[in-house]
């Protein structure tokens, strides 16, 4: 049986970034976009260009860099959004504008305060305007799963006539149930007269843990694009996870009439990259990319796997990229080996100075840690890119005294807007002392919501990657720091979070109305 292509639309950089605290810098987004291109994602939703100057710059940089995937920007169904998206996408080999408006009774009445006819007219003009800039236009019916069926068919018919080539019916609030949601997609495809002129797409949120099941059910009923994210990142409980969708389809070819062009051997490295950049750890029992996904604990399982792998394994770990990142560098590796490994990982620098600074940090790290893995290099580059730009707070020096029977004491020198300042404090523990000392200086009034440490690689000499989540006035940021000394990593992560709080916020596509 010949298979249809299922288009994989990755929205890690847009919906994924809407996870509270998951904001990324332009350089970090470009690194993730390059990894997604290597993974052979069909469409990369690079951001929401109008939401901030930073988002615009990221969409533009990705459009200028990525060659093998379509690059897409989100735009509400209004002229300024569409023009801004078109401007950011100018340099792309293949560009898509993704415009949307809410279509459910509850959203139209309370959020938009518009009648269905007004919504339909605005959707049609938005699609027509977008088509003036690009041939590839996607239209989304926000809150599609709670949209009244006849209205849904009417608006879809009209936007296809206006030039939309992809129709996305999101389960925005994660309310759908697989049989019901998939069945609805099938009925819409049947009920819309010109449905053969568009690709039908789904975009499911995971509020009930059903995002992947709902997406796969829709595929069985005719959807040919799935919107998903690495590690299932996304607004609230997240989106359907790319790795689960792709591997379900690949592993159960007996069930699905589709295949993807994804190179699955890049799944685990991409998952790690996204986790390290966003500071969202992957739970050990997460399917495909969790540390335990291919680990066999019980004796019975181990015995079975050793005798005949298929007794307990339905996929091979190496097919999804486990073990792919094991090439090591060490103390004696030179600049050429370092640069060439970075290039293979898709990492490039804007300037020679940045490369020199990364190499200096590499040498520093190699003095403390015998073998440097790809994960170390990723963490190190994040450090260079996030901690060297024009930051308000920079750690210059730190001493921490921790002795049994007495309060830990931290003394720090921090560069604040170009001037060095010394500060010290006691704390309940060494990390507490460091954070108290920083706060003496910064007086940020932020609340510490999360402090977590993950080992970048295995062993006691591994770098600790620390995430610090701060909240102030409803805004949440995640700071990151990595070092073989977890106390240094903790100080850097806290300062990074403070620096992020000093940057301007962004417009949220769904909360502001149109």
Residue ranges binding ligand KIV (CB under 6 A): 15, 100, 140, 142, 170, 172, 203, 205, 509
- CB closer to ligand KIV out of 136 and 383: 136
Tokens describing residue 141: 């019916």
Minimum CB distance to ligand KIV, residue 203 (Å)? 5
Minimum CB distance to ligand KIV, residue 280 (Å)? 18
Q: What are the DSSP E strand ranges found in 77-173? A: 95-102, 136-142, 166-171
Cα 451 from chain centre: 20
C-alpha torsion sign, points 339, 343, 345, 346: positive
Tell whether residue 227 is a contact of Zn ion (CB under 5 A).
Answer: no
Minimum CB distance to ligand KIV, residue 89 (Å)? 17
- CB closer to Zn ion out of 278 and 496: 278
Minimum CB distance to ligand KIV, residue 198 (Å)? 16
Tell whether residue 171 is a contact of Zn ion (CB under 5 A).
Answer: no
> Among Zn ion, ligand KIV, none, what does residue 478 contact (CB within 5–8 Å per kind)?
none
Q: What is the DSSP letter of 374?
A: H
CA dist., res. 143 & res. 11, Å (int): 17
Which positions ≥6 away from 97 have C-beta within 8 Å?
72, 73, 75, 82, 85, 86, 89, 130, 133, 134, 136, 137, 138
Minimum CB distance to ligand KIV, residue 179 (Å)? 21
- CB closer to ligand KIV out of 328 and 514: 514
How many CB atoms neighbour CB 120 within 10 A? 19
Quick check: 55 and 84 in contact, CB under 8 A? no
- CB closer to ligand KIV out of 205 and 492: 205
Quick check: 256 and 242 in contact, CB under 8 A? no
Minimum CB distance to ligand KIV, residue 122 (Å)? 15
CA dist., res. 402 & res. 427, Å (int): 10
Minimum CB distance to ligand KIV, residue 304 (Å)? 42
> Among ligand KIV, Zn ion, none, what does residue 60 contact (CB within 5–8 Å per kind)?
none
> Among Zn ion, ligand KIV, none, what does residue 140 contact (CB within 5–8 Å per kind)?
ligand KIV
- CB closer to ligand KIV out of 144 and 321: 144
- CB closer to Zn ion out of 169 and 329: 169
- CB closer to ligand KIV out of 239 and 278: 239
CA dist., res. 3 & res. 46, Å (int): 28
> Among Zn ion, ligand KIV, none, what does residue 391 contact (CB within 5–8 Å per kind)?
none
Q: What is the DSSP letter of 378?
A: H
> Among ligand KIV, Zn ion, none, what does residue 393 contact (CB within 5–8 Å per kind)?
none
236 Rama sector, left if φ>0, alpha if ψ -120 to 50, beta otherwise: left
Print the binding letters for residues 491-510 with Zn ion: x by CB under 5 A, - otherwise. Answer: --------------------
- 106-112 long-range contacts, Cβ below 8 Å, gap at least 24? 106/143, 106/146, 107/142, 107/143, 111/513, 112/513, 112/514
- CB closer to ligand KIV out of 97 and 247: 97
- CB closer to ligand KIV out of 142 and 243: 142
Minimum CB distance to ligand KIV, residue 78 (Å)? 14
Q: Closest Cα to residue 464, out of 431, 416, 429?
A: 431
Tokens describing residue 385: 């890119």
- CB closer to Zn ion out of 15 and 391: 15
Tell whether residue 37 is a contact of Zn ion (CB under 5 A).
Answer: no
- CB closer to ligand KIV out of 29 and 203: 203
Minimum CB distance to ligand KIV, residue 152 (Å)? 14
Minimum CB distance to ligand KIV, residue 108 (Å)? 14
Selected range binding Zn ion among 9-17, 97-105, 313-321, 392-400, rule: CB under 5 A = 9-17
Selected range binding Zn ion among 7-15, 176-184, 293-301, 398-406, rule: CB under 5 A = 7-15
Chain residue whose CB lies nearest Zn ion? 15
How many CB atoms neighbour CB 175 within 10 A? 17
> Among ligand KIV, Zn ion, none, what does residue 100 contact (CB within 5–8 Å per kind)?
ligand KIV
Options 7, 9, 12, 15; binder of Zn ion; rule CB under 5 A: 15
Minimum CB distance to ligand KIV, residue 250 (Å)? 25
Tell whether residue 42 is a contact of Zn ion (CB under 5 A).
Answer: no
Quick check: 97 and 82 in contact, CB under 8 A? yes
Q: Closest Cα to residue 95, out of 142, 29, 49?
A: 49
Minimum CB distance to ligand KIV, residue 117 (Å)? 22
Tell whether residue 17 is a contact of Zn ion (CB under 5 A).
Answer: no
Provide DSSP, 289-324: TSTTTT---SHHHHHHHHH-GGGT-SS-GGGGTTTT
- CB closer to ligand KIV out of 99 and 463: 99
> Among Zn ion, ligand KIV, none, what does residue 138 contact (CB within 5–8 Å per kind)?
none
Q: What are the backbone dihedrals phi and psi of residue 329, each rounded to the nearest 5 degrees, phi first?
A: -115, 165
CA dist., res. 259 & res. 250, Å (int): 7
Provide DSSP, 270-294: HHHHHHHHHT-PPPTT-TTTSTTTT
Residues that bind Zn ion (CB under 5 A): 15
């Amino acid at each position: 049986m010949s298979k249809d292509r299922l288009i994989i639309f990755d929205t890690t950089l847009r919906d994924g970034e809407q996870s509270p605290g998951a904001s990324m810098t332009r350089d970090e987004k470009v690194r993730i976009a390059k990894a997604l291109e290597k993974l052979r994602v069909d469409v990369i939703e690079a951001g929401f260009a109008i939401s901030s100057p930073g988002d615009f710059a990221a969409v533009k940089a990705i459009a200028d860099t990525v060659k093998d995937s379509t690059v897409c920007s989100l735009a509400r169904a209004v002229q300024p959004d569409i023009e801004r998206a078109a401007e950011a996408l100018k340099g792309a080999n293949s560009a898509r504008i993704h415009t949307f408006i809410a279509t459910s009774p509850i959203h139209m009445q309370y959020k938009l305060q518009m009648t269905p006819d007004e919504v339909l007219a605005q959707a049609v003009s938005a699609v027509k305007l977008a088509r003036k800039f690009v041939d590839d236009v996607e239209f989304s019916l926000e809150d599609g799963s709670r949209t009244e069926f006849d209205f849904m068919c009417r608006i879809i018919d009209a936007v296809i006539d206006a030039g939309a080539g992809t129709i996305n019916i999101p389960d925005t609030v994660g309310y759908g149930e697989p049989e019901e949601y998939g069945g609805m997609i099938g009925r819409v495809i049947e009920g819309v007269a010109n449905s053969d002129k568009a690709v039908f797409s789904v975009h499911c949120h995971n509020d009930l843990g059903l995002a992947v099941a709902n997406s796969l059910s829709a595929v069985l009923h005719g959807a040919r694009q799935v919107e998903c994210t690495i590690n299932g990142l996304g607004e609230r409980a997240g989106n359907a996870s790319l790795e689960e969708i792709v591997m379900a389809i690949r592993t159960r070819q007996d069930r699905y009439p589709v295949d993807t062009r994804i190179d699955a051997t890049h799944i685990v490295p991409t998952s790690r990259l996204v986790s390290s950049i966003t500071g969202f750890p992957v739970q050990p029992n997460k399917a495909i990319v969790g540390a335990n996904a291919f680990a066999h604990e019980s004796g019975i399982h181990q015995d079975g796997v050793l005798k005949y792998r298929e007794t307990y394994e339905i996929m091979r770990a190496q097919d999804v990229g486990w073990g792919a990142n094991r090439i090591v560098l060490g103390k004696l590796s030179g600049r050429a080996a370092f640069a060439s490994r970075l290039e293979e990982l898709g990492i490039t620098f804007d300037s020679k100075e940045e490369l020199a600074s990364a190499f200096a940090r590499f040498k520093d790290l190699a003095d403390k840690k015998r073998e440097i893995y790809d994960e170390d290099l990723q963490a190190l580059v994040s450090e260079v890119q996030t901690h060297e730009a024009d930051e308000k707070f920079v750690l210059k020096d730190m001493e921490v005294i921790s002795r049994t029977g007495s309060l830990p004491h931290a003394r720090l020198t921090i560069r604040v807007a170009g001037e060095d300042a010394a500060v010290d404090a006691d704390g309940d523990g060494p990390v507490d002392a460091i954070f108290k000392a920083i706060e003496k200086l910064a007086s940020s009034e932020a609340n510490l919501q999360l402090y977590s440490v993950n080992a970048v690689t295995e062993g006691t000499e591994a770098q600790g990657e620390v995430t610090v989540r701060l909240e102030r006035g409803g805004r949440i940021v995640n700071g990151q720091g990595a070092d073989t000394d977890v106390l240094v990593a903790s100080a850097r992560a806290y300062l990074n979070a403070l620096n992020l709080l000093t940057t301007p916020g962004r417009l949220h596509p769904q909360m502001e109305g149109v």
